[in-house]
Amino acid sequence: MQLKEAFLELIRRAATDLPPDVEAVLQKAYEKEDDNTPAKNVFATILENVKLARKQSTPICQDTGSLVFYIDYPEGGKERDYRQAIEWATVEATNRQYLRPNSVDPVTGKNSGNNLGVNAPYIHFHQWDRDEVRVRLLLKGGGSENVGSQYKLPHPPLNAGRDLKGVRKVVIDAVKNAQGLGCAPGTIGIGLGGGRDTSYSLSKEQFFRKIGQRNQDPELARFEEQLLEELNQLEIGPMGFGGKTTVLDVFVGKQARHPATYYVSVSYNCWAFRRKTMTIKNGEVRYDD
Amino acid sequence: MTIKLKTPISEEEIRNLKIGDTVLLSGVIVTARDQAHKLMVEEKPEFIRPYLKESVVYHCGPVVRKDENGNWQFVSAGPTTSAREEPYQSIVIGEYNVRGVIGKGGMGPKTAEGLKKYGAVYFHAVGGAGTLIANRVKRVLDVFKLEEFGTPEAFWVIEVEDFPLVVTMDAHGNSMHKEILEKSSKIAEELINKNV
C-alpha cells in the first residue's frame, strides 16, 4: 500500500470505527443505568449508532473534528513526505465523506472545503531510534474542545493550592462546568505543569491511552482512580440528562513546571473518542486502536 | 413511554409535553446553524417560512453526499451545540411560528421565555449519534444558501422518521439543564469542600 492510501485508511477507521475499549465502557455504562430513563435511552442510541457507523463505514459523528497527528519516524524519514501524504489523504477522505469540511479561516470566515488550512491538519513530528513509523491520529470534536479549561494554581475561588489536593478541586470544577455540553460522558485528559501551551498539549496526548490504562506512577494512578469515582458522583450523566456515568475515564500526565507557575489543563473528549494508530515497518502497515 | 409526534405540530400538542418526555419525531424539519439564524433575524427571508410554520428547527451541520441520481443524502447528522443560537432563537420562534428546536446542550433564559410565550419546546438529540440520525432522514426536500454558507451552515429541508429525542425544556418554563446544573453544582461544592 502506498503511504497516502495508508493514511486515508487510517482516517476512515478513526472516523467510522470506535475503538473497542471505548465501546466496551459505553456498554457497561448502559447496563448500569435504570430502565426507562433518558440516560439508558441515550446509551442505547449511542451503542446502536456505533455499530451502524462501523457497518456502513460512515462517520460516527458528523463533527469529524480537527485532525491531530503524532508521527514518530526513523532516521532518514522526511517530514515533507508524510505531510504530503496526509494532505492528499485528508482531501480524499473529505471527498468520500469520511470527514466533514472543518477548516475555517478565522479572518475571512471561509471554509476551505477540504479540511486543509494553516496548521490543519496539525502534525506533531518526532524522530525516534526504532526502525518503524508510528502514526497516531486523534479526531477531536469542536463541542468537546470548547469545554476544555486551564487553571493556574493557586486558584483562590476554590481554595485550591499547588498540590494534588488543589488539582482535584479544579478538575471537579471543570467537569461540573462542562455539564453535558462536551457530549458527556467524556474522557478527561489532564496535564500538570509545563507552560500554557505544553500543558494543554500534554493533556491531549493522554487520549492515546486505552480506557482503564493507568499512569505508571502509582501516586498518579491512584489519583486517576479517585477522580474517576468522584466525578461520577456528579450525576451529570450522558448528554447532561442525569445518570450514573458522567466520565468514562480520567488520564493524568505530568511534566516539569517553572517555580513560578503551576498550570492544570483539562481537555475533554466526547464519548465518541476517536483515535487510531498505524505502524509501518518494512512496507507493512498495521492498524491498531 | 415514548410519544410520537409529526410535523406540523399544534400548539396544544406542544404544551402537553414536559421535560423528560421521550419523543419520536417524524415529518418535515429544517436544519439551521449560526449563519442561518443570523440571516433569519436580520433579513427574515421568505423562502424558509412555509417549511418552518408549526415545524421544527434542527441545529445540525450534516455530512452529505449526492447519490448517482443527483439527489442529496444525509450521511451523518447529529446535533450541534445550541447555546450559540441563544441571541436569535426566541426571535426566530416568534417570527416563523416554530413549534420546536432540536439541538444539544440546552439553551438559556431568553429562549426559555420564547418557548413559553409562543408555545414551543426544546428537544435534545443524542450528540454524536450522527450515523443513526442520518438513517432516520428519509429524504432531502430542498436546500437553501448552500453556495453561500457551505454544507454545514446551509438550510437543509429534510423529512425525518422516528427521530429519537428527549424534551429538556418545555413550554411551561421548566428546564432539565437548569435542574441538573443546580444539582451537580451542589454535589461539586460538597466534594470540593471535603478535605481529602
Cell of A245: 456515568
List, in order, residues 6 or more apart from B8 with CB less than 8 Å away: B27, B53, B54, B55, B99
Question: Considering chain A, what percentage of its residues have pLDDT values greater than 70?
Answer: 100
Give CA angle at A171 (A135, A31), nearest 5°.
75
**Which 8-state DSSP code applies to residue B125?**
P
Task: Tell me which residues of chain B, numbers 28 to 67, contact chain A at a CB-CB cutoff of 8 Å.
Answer: 60-65
pLDDT of A164: 98
Distance from CA of B101 to the nearest CA of A (A): 16
| Per-residue pLDDT tens digits for A219-248 | 999 999 999 999 999 999 999 999 999 999
pLDDT of A109: 83
Contact (CB<8Å) A181/B166: no
A150-171: average pLDDT: 98
User: Is it true that the peptide bond before B152 is cis, omega within 30 degrees of 0?
Assistant: no
Give backbone dihedrals phi and psi of A272, rounded to 5 degrees, phi first: -80, 75
- CA-to-CA dists, residue A248 to A82, B25, B129, angstroms: 33, 30, 17
A240-261: average pLDDT: 98
Contact (CB<8Å) A45/B130: no
pLDDT at A139 over 90: yes
**DSSP labels, B67-129:** -TTS-EEEEE----BSGGGHHHHHHHHHHHT--EEEEBS---HHHHHHHHHHT-EEEEP-TT-
Cell of B176: 432539565
Best residue of B2, B58, B63, B194 to probe chain A, by most A CBs closer than 10 Å = B63
Per-residue confidence at A93, pLDDT binned at 50, 70, 90?
A: very high
Per-residue confidence at A262, pLDDT binned at 50, 70, 90?
A: very high
Task: Tell me which residues of chain B, numbers 148 to 167, contact chain A at a CB-CB cutoff of 8 Å.
Answer: 150-152, 164, 166
pLDDT at A138 over 90: yes
> What count of other Cβ atoms lies within 10 Å of the Cβ of residue B139?
14
pLDDT at A1 over 80: no
Q: Does A11 touch chain B (CB under 8 A)?
A: no
Task: Tell me which residues of chain A, numbers 87 to 146, contact chain B at a CB-CB cutoff of 8 Å.
Answer: 97, 99-101, 111, 113, 141, 143, 146
Indicate the pairing of strand A247-254 with strand A186-192: parallel
Cell of B137: 432522514
- Report the C-alpha gap between A54 and A161 in whole angstroms: 45
Mean pLDDT rounded to a whole number for chain A: 97
Question: Which among B37, B59, B124, B177 is annotated as catalytic?
Answer: B37
CB B117 within 8 A of CB B172: no
> What class, spelled out in words, does domain A3-14+60-141+274-288 have in CATH?
alpha beta
Taking 70 as the pLDDT cut, the residues of chain B under it are 196
- Helix (H) / strand (E) containing A67: strand A66-73
CB B124 within 8 A of CB B103: yes
Residue of A nearest to B81 (CA): A143
A104-128: average pLDDT: 95
Count of structural domains within chain B: 1
The CATH number linked to B168 is 3.20.130.10
For B131, the domain range is 2-193
- CA-to-CA dists, residue B91 to A116, B47, B50, B61, B113, angstroms: 36, 17, 17, 21, 11
**Residue B124 is a catalytic residue:** no
pLDDT at A129 over 80: yes
Cell of A209: 491511552
Cell of A251: 488520564
* Domains of chain A, residue spans: 3-14+60-141+274-288, 143-269
Rg (CA), chain A: 19
Closest Cβ–Cβ partner in B127, B166, B188 for A143: B127
Distance from CA of B192 to the nearest CA of A (A): 5
pLDDT of A90: 98
Whether the CA torsion A56, A60, A63, A64 is positive or negative: it is: negative
CB B136 within 8 A of CB B114: no
Q: Does B141 touch chain A (CB under 8 A)?
A: no
Indicate the pairing of strand B100-103 with strand B137-144: unpaired
Question: Which residue is it, cell 486523534?
Answer: A138
- Report the C-alpha gap between A128 and A125 in whole angstroms: 10
List, in order, residues 6 or more apart from A240 with CB less than 8 Å away: A179, A180, A181, A184, B105, B106, B176, B177, B180
Question: Considering chain A, what percentage of its residues have pLDDT values greater than 90?
Answer: 98
Per-residue confidence at A136, pLDDT binned at 50, 70, 90?
A: very high
